[in-house]
Structure 1
Amino acid sequence: MLQMEAMETSNYFESYEDLDIHKLMLRDKARNTAYKSSILSNRHDFKDKVVLDVGAGTGILSVFCAQAGARTVYAVEASNIYKIAEEIVKENKYENVIKVMHSKIEDIDLPEKVDIIVSEWMGFYLLHEAMLESVIIARDKFLKPDGLIFPESATLYSVPCSVPSMYDDWEDLDGVSMRHFGLKLRENASTRPITETVSPEAMLCDPEVVVWLDLREVTVDDVKTMEMRHVAVANKTGKYQGICLWFSCTFPSRLTEPVTLSTDPEEPPTHWKQTIVVLPSDIQVEKGTPIAYDLQLARSEENNRRYAIEVTMLHPDEVEHPEYCTCYLTKCILVRAMLDKYEKGDLSGITEK
């Protein structure tokens, strides 16, 4: 069983005064394009409406909303980066539309209800930093009953994977074995997940959904603890060395195709990259091998910005498999054969007495 804390920043809001963090986000083309496309392609929803930008940062999302025709945008930012947001608003000549407010969303009072909430609240593995709670609070306090939230849903995925940067890359480094160094890297990774870009080829199985969140209905209690048991099936031969986590978000759309922002390894890279829980030792798997594990994400009671990620490796013979499991265990082969007969209408030998 692997247990790790997933956040170590002691002062959350001070950390967001680091310009390098904002530079990283602002240079994330996939992120910016998803928000801009979803907002500007839904101008009919933003025209003359009141918008709340939760955690506005440098204000780029607020400017997108103003460009889409919003009457008023309340850009709420708790860190001192709000000063830059004020300058960005002036630079783009939207002082009469965008009102930058230096406050936590939990402490603020708005003069009116809002038609739309926009927020870039997602962290590594979706929930890092727990900013979703601020969006939920803003929704419950300020959003009109028929209001919209950008994005409106989010999905967290997991999949067993290879992690060559923690294993194979140290077998032979310019003719020198560095296995002991790799071992130390894995020991360091045993207390917290790593964040890096994972190649699609490193994925050993099809992804499984850990949790799907509807932002119109999700509550704070819903995201305190999430638990899921997975029985994944290797679709290739490889080394099982970790569990990879990533997320996708979908934006509302009434007249056009919905926009999705995905951090899937198959998609263009983002600043979120992927999150990996590294195993202490690797396991060779063949195509068709079942891989069973429990995954839990639990919010810390001591620090509500922290989540603990716990992975428990299970023996695949000792857990229940999905109905149509494609692994090579005899029991699953027999169940598949029976289900195939039912689907083809061939019930001979099954229903006859």
Structure 2
Amino acid sequence: MDSSDYFESYQDLSIHQIMLRDAPRNKAYKQAIFDNADQILGRRVLDVGAGTGILSVFCAQAGAAKVYAVEASNVSKIAREVIKENGFDKVIEVINSRIEDTVLPEKVDIIVSEWMGFYLLHEGMLDSVIFARDKFLKPGGLMFPESATIYSAPCCVPSMFDSWGNIEGVSMKSFSEKLRTEASHKPSTVSVAKEHILADPEVLLWIDLREVTQKEVDGFKVQHIAVATKAGKYQGICLWFTCTFPSFVTEPVTLSTAPEDPETHWKQTTIVLPTEIQVEQKAPIAYELSLARAQENPRRYNIEVTMLDPAEVEHPEYCACHMTKCILVWAMLEKYEKESMGK
């Protein structure tokens, strides 16, 4: 998908319908903007990828003196109608342009954007937001959101693989194995229930939107040792993200796509393993995960998961798995703690 195809895809109103019906998404942005009304009052705001204009309207409602709503697709025509419908056509200026081609008459105090894609980075607008920040944001200006975090955890996905034993009296397990093989070649966007997460989540990547560069999100590789918090079928690696907004008075607002939180249109992303493994509670699960920007399309990323042997990789100092070496470390730590308290 090249740039023209990407922007044309956002002319499909069904995409905007899905986003506008995503209550956790909309509520998080509205609360973050209204909680920071003192910072927005009388200020200049840039909305990158404004879509139908809802975030621009939120900013105008919070007292922004001027909002530049930049939208590359023809949905900008709808944004103008929505903005006029809400009585803010004197405050919000809609600009039908790629942000990279946009010319503004001034720098702005605040950038707001809903740029996130599946697992945060896939087909997202992060590069465009970084470009806008470097070109248009005043020093010390605010970013909404200002940081984002990607998490991963081993999981089972029974909704995909565990219902094929009896299809009206016919076993289709051989079909399910073919389905698993096919699914292991590309990430799947599915809802993963919190009870199907097999271990505590690990941070894959933390992004500070105020400082991150495009090069820093070209790719990364991490290695994790997760410890199963329950017995279950280890069938894949689940990815999700959170975004945090600036705050000066209240607790920071966080938009979360985690399995335990209300479902969003992003759901979760699962990298399915070609074979499943039955794990027991406290079993170590070792894996390496890499994300690299696709050369043929910089808006997409290639994901690779490598299953590792837990006995052959270094465990964290306080690993709680059931391997002998980790049990001995915990025993030594407990003994040291007791001796220290006895002194």
| TM-score bucket of the superposed structures, by smaller chain | over 0.9
CA deviations 1:86-116 (Å, max 9, x no partner) are 1111111111100000111111111100000
- Say if 2:288 is the partner of 1:294: yes
1:206 alignment partner, one of 192, 200, 205: 200
Counting matched residue pairs gives: 342
Q: Are 1:332 and 2:326 matched, yes or no?
A: yes
CA offsets per residue over residues 219-261 of structure 1, 9 Å max, x none? 1011001211010000101000000000001110101111111
* 1:71 equivalenced with 2:65 (yes/no): yes
The yes-or-no answer on 1:225 pairing with 2:219 is yes
Given residue 20 of structure 1, which amino acid in structure 2 is its aligned partner? S
The answer on 1:311 being equivalent to 2:302 is no
Tell me the amino acid that sits aligned with residue 167 of structure 1: F
Q: CA deviation at 1:343?
A: 3.0
Q: Give 1:146 deviation, angstroms.
A: 1.1
Q: How does 1:100-115 map to 2 (within 5 A)?
A: 100-115=94-109
How far did 1:178 drift? 1.5
Amino acid at match of 1:160: P
Letter in 2 for 1:190: S
Q: TM-score, normalised by structure 2?
A: 0.97
Distance 2:181 2:267 in 1: 22
Alignment-mate amino acid for residue 152 of structure 1: E
Superposed counterparts of 1:339-350, under 5 Å: 339-346=333-340
* RMSD value, Cα: 1.6
For residues 322 and 171 of structure 2, the distance between their equivalents in structure 1, rounded to whole angstroms, comes to 35
Decide which of 42, 45, 51 is 2:36's aligned counterpart.
42
Q: 2:152 aligns with which of 130, 151, 158?
A: 158
C-alpha deviation, 1:342, in angstroms: 2.9
Identity %: 67
Higher relative contact order (CA 8 A, sep 6+): 1
SS of 1:239's equivalent? strand
| Aligned with residue 96 of structure 1, among 76, 90, 109 | 90
Partners of 1:42 and 1:160 in 2: how far apart?
37
Query: Counterpart in 2 of 1:14?
Result: 8
For residue 257 of structure 2, what is the aligned residue in structure 1?
263
- State how far apart, in whole Å, the 1-side matches of 2:4 and 2:109 are: 34
Question: In 1, Cα distance between the equivalents of 2:3 and 2:99?
Answer: 20
1:88 is paired with a residue whose SS is helix
Q: Does 1:181 align with 2:178?
A: no
- After superposition, give the CA deviation of every residue in 1:160-207 in whole Å (9 maximum; x if it has no partner): 000112221212234321112212322221221110111111110000
Q: State the Cα distance separating 1:26 from its structure 2 match.
A: 0.2
After superposition, what is the alpha-carbon deviation per residue over 1:116-139, rounded to whole angstroms, capped at 9, x for unaligned? 000001111010114111111111
Q: How does 1:237-256 map to 2 (within 5 A)?
A: 237-256=231-250
Counterpart contact for 1:341–1:347, Cα < 8 Å: no
Q: What do the CA deviations read for 1:133-156 (whole angstroms, capped 9, x no partner)?
A: 111111110111110000111010
- The 2-side partners of 1:347 and 1:61 are apart by 55
1:346 CA displacement: 4.7
**Structure 2 CA distance for partners of 1:157 and 1:47, relative to 1, 3 Å:** same
Task: Please tell me the residue identity of whatever aligns with 1:221.
Answer: K
Q: Distance in 2 between matches of 1:72 and 1:317?
A: 59
Report the Cα distance in structure 2 between the residues aligned to 1:212 and 1:238, rounded to whole angstroms: 29
Whole-angstrom CA distance in 2 between matches of 1:146 and 1:74: 19
